[in-house]
Structure 1
Amino acid sequence: MSQHQLSDLSDEGLRAFVGEQLERSRRRTARLADAVDTDDLIKQHSKLMSPLIWDYAHIGNQEELWLVRDVGGREPLRQDIDELYDAFMHPRADRPTLPLLGPVETRAYVEEVRDKVLDVLDHVKFDGGRELVDNGFAFGMIVQHEQQHDETMLATHQLRRGVPVLDAPPPPAGRRLAAPEVLVPGGVLEMGTSVEPWALDNERPAHAVRVAPYVIDTVPVSNGDYLQFVTGGGYQDPQWWSEAGWAQVQKASLTGPRFWEFVDGEWWQLRFGKREQLPLDEPVMHVCFYEAEAYAKWAGKRLPTEEEWEFAARFDPATGRTRRFPWGDESPGPQHANLGQRHLGPAPVGAYPAGASPLGVEQLIGDLWEWTSSDFSPYPGFRAFPYDEYSLVFFGPEYKILRGGSFATDEVVARSTFRNWDYPIRRQIFAGFRCARDPRPEELRA
């Protein structure tokens, strides 16, 4: 069952689907919290991140606000903690100083909230004429919220110091590519969506955009390729950097991607508490927008726009149709993409030929978020729903768009239309990039 088929379900079928998604997301949250001891659960591992216990209770509080109180019309369980877990009230750096619920109290609270939510789910009328519950939207919003915080909690695990506590099987092997780049002919794309039932407000509405021909990398830039930029003096030469990017290099003393180390003549990386030799065939990760932009300039290219990224991911030149995913309309399976914390890192380049677009562009979904050159702005006809603080308050040039999802992103979030955004200095997120360029005249004549 996939999200775009929800409108075809009976009320009982929709209840079963929603219940399954709620349970699946909670199992993941519990695993991430239970993997560490009490000290690590309440500790702030980086000022960039909340304590894990804050995320855990925040997940429950948002569920209470939207599903118990709003959808269900029930009495509040813990109205006294609403301000503590309001993400807009307290910066992450300050959250450890708050009188947060302890681990035992947090677990009891989120369990009580979930019991109430399941009762609401048993009685809600999905065809009651209320937009918030059409096709189970409010439940889908909360499932996505929990999965997004699970990815944030996983990023906190990456910043945590101590013995490794997470494990997963390795991703599939990569393969040699037929070509390093793909010429995209351009055309008219139906960008965004008006039909995905659980799509969030900034993905809406669908609208036509005309995209000029361009060339895009077949796969994300690899560690091996990026290493050439590092060892070639890229971080010491301002010619490759924008003014803001060079200022960030100097301010933060950047010398390479976060979690890279050069020890005894060899390059290593830290991944969830384990030091490993730098895997040259994996996509480079934990680079900020400015680093991606500088590498692209050094390579004689640029970052793709958001429109170019989505065109490469969704356009089928044989039919002129916009697909749901690069491989078609089928929801992501393990053969298509590296998603859902199935593995604890990106797969080597070329690992998912079944996930390729009709144009031959690969690994657009999963593995790692990809920086684009676009600012976060609303689509024509945008309408904030169900609250301004999800998207509206973030629109502007301070944020850059990332696309595609990472190995830590769940399939319920990883739509080809999903828009992530962050400050251009952020490096703790599971982000990398691929390059694009304008085509040469002879390429257009071929």
Structure 2
Amino acid sequence: MILSEKYLKIRKHSEQICEPLETEDYVVQPIVDVSPPKWHLGHTTWFFETFILQPFSLGYEVYNDAYNYVFNSYYETIGNRVIRTDRGNLSRPGVKEIYQYRAYVDEAMLRLLENPVTEEVEELLLLGFNHEQQHQELLLTDIKYILGNNPLFPVYHSEVRESSPLQTKTREMIGIAEGVYEIGYTGTSFCFDNELGLHKVYLQPFSISSNLVSNAEFLEFINSGGYQNFEYWHSEGWDWLNNNQVTAPMYWHFIDEQWHRYTLSGLKPMNLQEPVTHISYYEAYAYASWAGLRLPTEFEWEVAAQTFNWGQRWEWTESAYLPYPGFNKAPGAIGEYNGKFMVQQKVLRGASIATPEGHSRISYRNFFHPHLRWQFTGLRLAK
């Protein structure tokens, strides 16, 4: 696929995600971690304008000088920005204006791509594509949080399926031999800088589950008093649980003596055979402790990933998000993309049903703070 076609396909997908929304849905920011959908649409457009059009498109005129302040996310190199918590306070630019902004930038990008581009521009384009795909996943999960915290439980789209039932109801533990293994990206296509630095790790013999933990299994943990027994929890996780009065995964609702779960297709009776989702690292750790097992490290997960099916849930690991040996941040704003976040976060591996097609690979390192659970997060057990 040529660059202009790939550009249009990715840009169109962001707008397709937003098609079921009402105008009012575009502007809501219920918590700091959830950005308004219209901000995502503007920010991904600003990325192409700022990092490609301004430096490499001769004579390009910025759509609106103020947008650098509005749509810059965290790039200190680029300048001041709206505080993240205040994104939902921006009634302007309106939704219509943001779609006009997208069309303006798309037209300029397609003019640029009419001719061959330099290797530097192509690398930035690939980063821009993958950046927008990351925001497509955030868009969908943010939309779910916005609608799922509305007391009307509105349907995003009636035909969206958030998962398939697990292939088998019994858990098989897959044995992995002791040895020295190579970790990191080995391909020739795009990857993020945090995947680079192919290196060797020594692993003790271990086994890992062929299945993700299901809703039925997690319900056993709940019914046995798992959320009330401090012995299964880290001290920090126990504080988080009590301070936030957490008693079940996000979007679980006990109605008329039956568990229901809010999904993108509405509030539905719990499907017990689906993999559990929207849990924090604290909850994943506590469940594993209750089960007498543990979470895999990210290195164990990567080595074992070809032996099981993955991709329905981002899977919490026991690994802190740290740089690989030899990691170097790129100069300038692009160097702020991953390296500055390598502190107090846990690595998740795999992908989710919200991950765009072609955006997942075994070496992909996602990362979140331990208390977060608005993404499609789940767990796989190891011992």
- The TM-score, its normalising length taken from structure 2, stands at 0.90
The equivalent residue for 2:157 is 166
CA shift in 2, pair 1:390/1:60, >3 Å = same
Moved more, 191-200 or 148-157: 191-200
1:290-336 C-alpha deviation (Å, 9 max, x unpaired): 000000011111111110111112xxxxxxxxxxxx3xxxxxxxxxx
Pick the aligned partner of 2:316 from 360, 371, 385.
Answer: 371
1:379-433 C-alpha deviation (Å, 9 max, x unpaired): 111122362221111012x111111110110233211111111110001111111
Aligned equivalents of 1:174 and 1:253: distance in 2?
A: 30
Aligned equivalents of 1:271 and 1:169: distance in 2?
A: 9
Structure 2 gaps, min length 5? 75-80
| 1:384 has 2:329 as partner | yes
- Displacement after TM superposition at 1:73 (Å): 5.0
1:77-124 C-alpha deviation (Å, 9 max, x unpaired): 233210111112334321122464211110011111011111222224
The equivalent residue for 1:203 is 195
Aligned equivalents of 2:66 and 2:57: distance in 1?
A: 19
| Identity between Structure 1 and Structure 2 (%) | 31
The equivalent residue for 2:350 is 404
Aligned equivalents of 2:330 and 2:92: distance in 1?
A: 29
Aligned equivalents of 2:137 and 2:173: distance in 1?
A: 30
The equivalent residue for 1:94 is 86
Aligned equivalents of 2:268 and 2:352: distance in 1?
A: 20
Contact 2:160 2:264 in 1 (8 A): no
- Matched ranges for 1:23-172 at <5 A: 23-72=8-57, 74-77=59-62, 78-88=64-74, 89-98=81-90, 100-126=92-118, 130=119, 132-133=120-121, 136-159=122-145, 160=147, 161=150, 162=152, 163-168=154-159, 170=161
CA shift in 2, pair 1:73/1:400, >3 Å = farther
Contact 1:223 1:279 in 2 (8 A): yes
- Displacement after TM superposition at 1:76 (Å): 4.2
Contact 2:279 2:373 in 1 (8 A): yes
Structure 1 gaps, min length 5? 1-15, 314-325, 327-356, 438-446
| SS of match in other structure, 1:234 | coil
Aligned equivalents of 2:17 and 2:281: distance in 1?
A: 28
The equivalent residue for 2:180 is 188
Pick the aligned partner of 2:382 from 436, 442, 446.
Answer: 436
The equivalent residue for 2:295 is 303
- Displacement after TM superposition at 1:26 (Å): 1.8
The equivalent residue for 1:395 is 342
Aligned equivalents of 2:178 and 2:57: distance in 1?
A: 47
State the aligned residue count. Answer: 368
Contact 1:369 1:405 in 2 (8 A): yes
- Displacement after TM superposition at 1:369 (Å): 0.3
Contact 1:67 1:120 in 2 (8 A): no
- Displacement after TM superposition at 1:211 (Å): 1.8
Aligned equivalents of 2:158 and 2:126: distance in 1?
A: 28
Contact 1:54 1:100 in 2 (8 A): no
| SS of match in other structure, 2:296 | coil
RMSD: 1.9
| SS of match in other structure, 1:123 | coil
Moved more, 53-62 or 137-146: 137-146
- The TM-score, its normalising length taken from structure 1, stands at 0.78
- Displacement after TM superposition at 1:146 (Å): 1.1
Aligned equivalents of 1:168 and 1:294: distance in 2?
A: 33
